[in-house]
Structure 1
Amino acid sequence: MSQDTVPKPLLTAQIMAATVPLLAIIWVLKLPTHMGLLIFPEQIAAVMLALSLATIYLNTRGRSGLPRGVDIALALLSLGVGGWVFARFQVLSEQAIYYPTEALILGVCVVGLVLDTVRRVLGWVLVGIFALFVAYALWSDVLPGALAGRPMPLTELLQYLATDSAATWGSSLQVASFVVVVFVLFGGFLIAVGGGEFFTQLSMRVSGSGPGGAAKIGVTASALFGSISGSAVSNVMSTGVMTIPMMIRSGLSRVQAGAIEAVASTGGQLMPPIMGAAAFLMAELLQVDYREILVAALLPALIYYASIFLQIDFLARRDKVGSLAGERREAMKTILRAGWSTMLGFVVLLGSIFVLNREAEVAATWTVFALVIAALIAQTLRPGMSGSLTLRGCWSALSKTGQAVAEVLLVTAAAGMIVGILSITGLGFTLSILLLDLGGSTLFGMLAVTALVAIVLGLGLPTTAVYLLLASLAAPALVQVGIPPIAAHMFVFYYGMLSMITPPIALASFAAAAISGAGQIRTGVESFRVGWVAYLLPFLFIYKPALLMDGTAGEILYVAVSSLVALVLVAGGVIGHALRPLQGVMRLLWAGTGLATIAPLNALAGHAVEWGVSAFGLLLLAQHLTPVLRARRAAT
């Protein structure tokens, strides 16, 4: 469908969506400052949120149960509210007490529009959570004990939510507006210049041979694609349409294929260099450079994907699932030649962050310009060549980015309201104290309670919303007991993400089941089994900080190697097969030794015991591997 034939409301939605990333770039490049204009980030973020709300209303026009005219009117109201905040924020943020009626009307409009669009896009869960916090703010005086507080009038609360920088327009929305949007735009242009095809072909070349080749391709493609999408569900829907049927054709069951894709796609939120929106919020909340988050997340992400690869390999050997010998795979030279623009993008991005020490959003903006310039030059010199890009393609990438980030901006605005209520009522501090009491006197008990709360919250919320809530509620309590801040935040981030593959509401698993044709619950349960290591990793952050690159080179190397040994042992013991079958007692010995190797024995029994267990694990692997190597040597 060309632009000339697109219905006017949808074309208007595309224009508004494309404006969102353009505004982000304008702010990141500090153009208002260079022009001598005094504009607050809250003002630009409010306009971007308003454009996103209007885009959602126009895209859901006629599907909300309301007359289409009402949806269009709400879209116009959203734009009006954005312009209102832009024009009056500087006055209302400092002098709202002198304009109570205006602030109240603005509060009603902002809260009503955000909650209505949240209901349309995400359902009622986040709306219900917001309502609970509002109820606390209004009637906290009737609660017993430590939860008792000073109630707020509803009018005062609405005024606060619409005019204070600590609420709707706070750091959460600003990070989403000026960092997440730019990185999503980078991912959009990377796909536009052929990044998706490059990742697919590269995955087939590097991991398509050997047992379970199709599943390994799916995992590799999801890891690569996830590093630029940062969304588990979109990752499943993008790569899964190709990899899931390929896995089924290779001999895996529909349930196994869907579960492997769901777990691999969920890991995309953990994989540097982009991760998910929550990672950028983490950098802002911790007040550290984004590259520190990237470095800390690298080793856990590699361990996560190594566990999936090992399970696939052992499962394929046990069930005689072959490689992809019949699938056509391009030569590596051809793949690299076709993917020159994608590689250029990553070189510019990582070089800007780690070599030039630029802020993450500035680095991503430079990368977008580098991709566009290189691709347009390629299109001019040789139209249609790989990596080229037309002006229509640039427009499409801008529009798709705006539509993709609308939900993120919406979620961060709603979460910002909740965080604002936690701040103004003091409930955040109170809940942290209660969490400390509930966890008991042991660190493990407190971690277990936090993990359970994170998974329960995540059953109906996106990872970003879960992280923002737990960063305000649980992370401070973990820090109070001596856990390093980055480890505490990574802990709640991981468990918030795990809701994507945890039944009964495992969104990534359900998306994969829709493609594979398997049952949703069965796919969710299988995803839980395949992704077992992700449920242990956060505890290891706490007991083995070297996993987050916090330690000497020797400590980091030891943790990496011992974790890999543990993964091999547990995977082989559970599946009952490694390079050759494992039977009875040997299976139990492998699984038990693997769990003991990955456990924090140094905190329980000292370094000598831990090193001894790790050495025994290496002996088990050597005993298993030696006959296999002898047989192969004899065969050759």
Structure 2
Amino acid sequence: MDNSPARHLFQVIARVLAFLVPLVAVIWVLAIPQRMGFLIYPEQVAALMLGAALCVAFSRDAATSSGPKLLIDAVLAILALSVGAYVYVRFPVLSEGSHLYPTEAFILGLLVALLVLEGLRRVVGWTLVIITLTMFCYALWGHLVPGPLRGRGQEFADVMRFIGTDSAGTWGSALQIAAFVVVIFVLFGGVLLAVGGGDFFTQIATRFAGRGPGNTAKIAVVASGLFGSISGSAVSNVMSTGVMTIPMMRRSGFRPDQAGAIESVASTGGQLAPPVMGAAAFLMAELLQMPYKSILLAAILPAVIYYLSLYVQIDFIARRDDHRSADWIEHRPMRQVIADGWLPLAAFVVLLGSIFAWNTRAEVAAIWALGLIVVVALGFWVLRVVNVSWGPAVSPKELAAGITKTGGQVCDVLLICAAAGMIIGLLATTGLGFSLSLFLIQFGGQNLFGLLVVTAIVGIVLGLGLPTTGVYLLLATMTAPALVQLGIPSLSAHMFVFYYGMLSMITPPIALAAYAAASISGAPQIRTGVQAFRFGWIAYFLPFLFIYKPGLLMSGPWYDIAYVFASSVAALALVSAALIGHALGRIPLPARIGAAVLGIAMIAPLRQIGPAALEFGVSALGIAVIAIYVLRMRSGPGTMTALRD
């Protein structure tokens, strides 16, 4: 039997819905229904978008299936879209009176749970499905759990009614942020790249890296960081920029595993680099009820230190292994770079100006920047049609393709956030969230550092099977409240769990970003993962500084912020030199050990265990050692090291 017409139909359905999902988000953020006099709840729109996202996921599978599987996928796709539409219509009634329609609410919740779990299984694997099912089991039989985590058992029908109709569950803040904020920024990033943003970032990176040793890897770091700050996805960033940067690094002399590791660490850091960051940053702003610009400001110094550490290590390796400057790379004059990339630059000015100067909501600011790009690019396309070729033109067909691609990308995020909403809601209704926080508070009251280590390990383990957004939402619900109750500033606590949710991307044995880079470089996966772990070492220390040295998050007086930043930069230089065995010259083993110990001591919160003079003294010693070393190397023989003297 020929299933080609049916498969083609579902291809069309997937494309149409993927195109509509971002447009619905734009319409809602601009409050167009409200301006027209319609009273619509955000939960209704989020449900409609989730139904469309599920339909896209099932339709994509149906487009490549045959036989019974095609029929199953087709039924699930139609059912998903129908459920989303049904919730859109019935939510105002069921949210207030589900007890008046118990059977309807039960069936609806059951369908929502089954569809979301099956969609999750297909797009992100089993990990989040298992976690969600475990939470369902706890909701049903939590009263049988012994000890302090004993919960309140609920009836299966009540749990399903909660899943299908309650604003604190599936249709809550997690899904709404994904639907109305994350979608907008992903769309902004996609359209930005379509008008030459990619080439603009690459040329900026080329100018920034200069012509020094290892400049190909330095270009990769800057370019991948810029790309990653827009895309917010480590793996997709590796696959998009790595095909260019990894061969370039290999050509200049870097080993395949080094090239893959550098690309994966640079791409992973895009999730923590302003101005866009990743989906988790928007969730953090909502959970903390904090302006998005406050999250951006807090993320600046950690992002600078993260990328500066990688940059310094590349420079030391290039000097050690004698990687010459790659003079074959084109270096356009900065004036030409700005002239060619003025539209992406103008879009960023509008975005950041709206957020910081006019206090516009982040998603609205992104729409203004997006509108600028679309209007200008389509205008240039019209001029090109009449044989006037000037400026970055985008045809309506290309624009529609970009919007459709965005819709396909955000479907996964919508499913993850829907499941996270279920988990967050069940944590609240069962009392597990309170019990877990109380248990962690008691543990942390005796050993705060131990609690932080446990939280870090849990974040990395969860991240082995979940994207950063899912890990952050779980940790922000389960562990961050306990840290806050122990007196840690809420922003520091949430940034801590955010970072450790991201680090699984470069942490073996399942370093997804590193393994994606290995598929391009041709290096063994494990070896690339280990190299990525080494290159990204600073990221494992930074979250602890958020807790013990909040100046790194722009909290406190300016002199404390400056001190924490300067001491952290000096520490990363010492530890990087110790790891590589080379800085401006070769460093012998005893000096390497001394540099590593001194660098780690500079990072350590010595003020917590001794007088402040101890920490300041160690930091002053570290900075003095670096200064003496540089002066000696500049004035003496190239093989001499001040540390050895």
Report if the CA contact (8 A) 1:310-1:568 is conserved: yes
SS in 1 for 2:609: helix
Residue of structure 2 equivalent to 1:569? 574
Deviates more, 1:98-107 or 1:602-611: 602-611
Report if the CA contact (8 A) 1:439-1:449 is conserved: no
- Name the aligned partner's letter for residue 176 of structure 2: Q
Residue of structure 1 equivalent to 2:642? none
SS in 2 for 1:327: coil
Residue of structure 1 equivalent to 2:27? 26
SS in 1 for 2:152: coil
Deviates more, 1:370-379 or 1:240-249: 370-379
- Name the aligned partner's letter for residue 561 of structure 1: A
Residue of structure 2 equivalent to 1:489? 494
Deviates more, 1:273-282 or 1:601-610: 601-610
Offset at residue 203 of structure 1 (A):
1.2
Residue of structure 2 equivalent to 1:58? 59
Report if the CA contact (8 A) 1:208-1:214 is conserved: no
Deviates more, 1:289-298 or 1:199-208: 199-208
Q: 1:438 to 1:521 in 2, by over 3 A?
A: farther
Partners of 2:72 and 2:134 in 1: how far apart? 28
Partners of 1:327 and 1:288 in 2: how far apart? 43
Deviations 1:302-344 (A, max 9, x none): 0000000000000111111121112223222221111011101
| Pairs within 5 Å for 1:406-417 | 406-417=411-422
Offset at residue 373 of structure 1 (A):
0.9
Partners of 2:87 and 2:65 in 1: how far apart? 26
Partners of 2:10 and 2:390 in 1: how far apart? 34
Residue of structure 1 equivalent to 2:359? 357
Report if the CA contact (8 A) 1:179-1:361 is conserved: yes
Residue of structure 1 equivalent to 2:14? 13
Offset at residue 520 of structure 1 (A):
1.2
Q: Which runs of 5+ in 2 are unaligned?
A: 1-6, 639-645
Residue of structure 2 equivalent to 1:547? 552
Offset at residue 488 of structure 1 (A):
0.4
Deviations 1:83-107 (A, max 9, x none): 1000000000010001111111111
Matched, 1:233 2:235: yes
Matched, 1:556 2:561: yes
Partners of 1:304 and 1:203 in 2: how far apart? 16
| Pairs within 5 Å for 1:197-346 | 197-346=199-348
Report if the CA contact (8 A) 1:208-1:324 is conserved: no
Report if the CA contact (8 A) 1:258-1:512 is conserved: yes
Partners of 1:234 and 1:315 in 2: how far apart? 27
Offset at residue 630 of structure 1 (A):
2.8
Residue of structure 2 equivalent to 1:121? 123
Matched, 1:449 2:454: yes
Partners of 1:133 and 1:239 in 2: how far apart? 38
Report if the CA contact (8 A) 1:24-1:178 is conserved: yes
Deviates more, 1:467-476 or 1:624-633: 624-633
Report if the CA contact (8 A) 1:255-1:519 is conserved: yes
Report if the CA contact (8 A) 1:45-1:173 is conserved: yes
Residue of structure 2 equivalent to 1:478? 483
When the two chains are superposed, the root-mean-square deviation of aligned CA atoms in Å is 1.6
Offset at residue 387 of structure 1 (A):
2.1
Partners of 1:240 and 1:458 in 2: how far apart? 22
Report if the CA contact (8 A) 2:177-2:283 is conserved: yes
| Pairs within 5 Å for 1:584-599 | 584-599=589-604
Partners of 1:258 and 1:448 in 2: how far apart? 28
Offset at residue 247 of structure 1 (A):
0.8
Partners of 2:382 and 2:615 in 1: how far apart? 61
Deviations 1:108-150 (A, max 9, x none): 1111111001001111111111111111111112211222222
Partners of 2:435 and 2:251 in 1: how far apart? 54
SS in 2 for 1:194: helix
Report if the CA contact (8 A) 2:272-2:278 is conserved: yes
Q: 1:525 to 1:64 in 2, by over 3 A?
A: farther
Deviates more, 1:135-144 or 1:236-245: 135-144
Residue of structure 2 equivalent to 1:134? 136
Deviates more, 1:201-210 or 1:156-165: 201-210
Partners of 2:144 and 2:389 in 1: how far apart? 69
- Name the aligned partner's letter for residue 74 of structure 2: I
Residue of structure 2 equivalent to 1:618? 623
Q: Which runs of 5+ in 1 are unaligned?
A: 1-5
Offset at residue 62 of structure 1 (A):
5.7
Deviations 1:497-546 (A, max 9, x none): 11111111111111111111111111111111110000000000000000
2:175 is matched with which residue: 173, 176, 180? 173
Partners of 2:197 and 2:630 in 1: how far apart? 38
SS in 1 for 2:62: coil
- Aligned-pair identity in percent equals 56
| Pairs within 5 Å for 1:141-156 | 141-156=143-158
SS in 1 for 2:446: coil
Matched, 1:524 2:529: yes
Give the count of matched residue pairs.
Answer: 629
Offset at residue 379 of structure 1 (A):
2.4
Deviates more, 1:237-246 or 1:388-397: 388-397
Deviates more, 1:175-184 or 1:440-449: 440-449
Report if the CA contact (8 A) 1:64-1:120 is conserved: no
Partners of 2:319 and 2:556 in 1: how far apart? 37
1:430 is matched with which residue: 404, 429, 435? 435
- Name the aligned partner's letter for residue 285 of structure 1: L
Report if the CA contact (8 A) 2:492-2:550 is conserved: yes
Q: 1:412 to 1:384 in 2, by over 3 A?
A: farther
Partners of 1:601 and 1:494 in 2: how far apart? 22
- Name the aligned partner's letter for residue 544 of structure 2: F
Partners of 1:442 and 1:268 in 2: how far apart? 33
Partners of 1:171 and 1:281 in 2: how far apart? 8
Deviates more, 1:144-153 or 1:64-73: 64-73
Offset at residue 371 of structure 1 (A):
0.8
Partners of 1:306 and 1:347 in 2: how far apart? 24
Offset at residue 294 of structure 1 (A):
0.3
Residue of structure 2 equivalent to 1:85? 87
Q: 1:144 to 1:515 in 2, by over 3 A?
A: same
Offset at residue 590 of structure 1 (A):
1.4
Report if the CA contact (8 A) 2:11-2:63 is conserved: no
Partners of 1:208 and 1:459 in 2: how far apart? 36
Residue of structure 2 equivalent to 1:3? none
Offset at residue 287 of structure 1 (A):
0.3
Offset at residue 191 of structure 1 (A):
0.6
Partners of 2:167 and 2:80 in 1: how far apart? 19
Offset at residue 612 of structure 1 (A):
1.2
Partners of 1:384 and 1:305 in 2: how far apart? 39
User: Under a length normalisation based on structure 2, what TM-score does the superposition of the two structures give?
Assistant: 0.95
Q: 1:271 to 1:64 in 2, by over 3 A?
A: farther
Residue of structure 1 equivalent to 2:39? 38
- Name the aligned partner's letter for residue 484 of structure 1: P
User: Under a length normalisation based on structure 1, what TM-score does the superposition of the two structures give?
Assistant: 0.97
Offset at residue 7 of structure 1 (A):
3.5
Residue of structure 1 equivalent to 2:641? none
Matched, 1:507 2:509: no
Residue of structure 1 equivalent to 2:380? 378
Q: 1:43 to 1:516 in 2, by over 3 A?
A: same
Report if the CA contact (8 A) 2:350-2:365 is conserved: yes
Deviations 1:563-601 (A, max 9, x none): 111111111111111111111222122111111111111
Offset at residue 58 of structure 1 (A):
1.2
Report if the CA contact (8 A) 2:152-2:431 is conserved: no
Deviates more, 1:431-440 or 1:103-112: 431-440
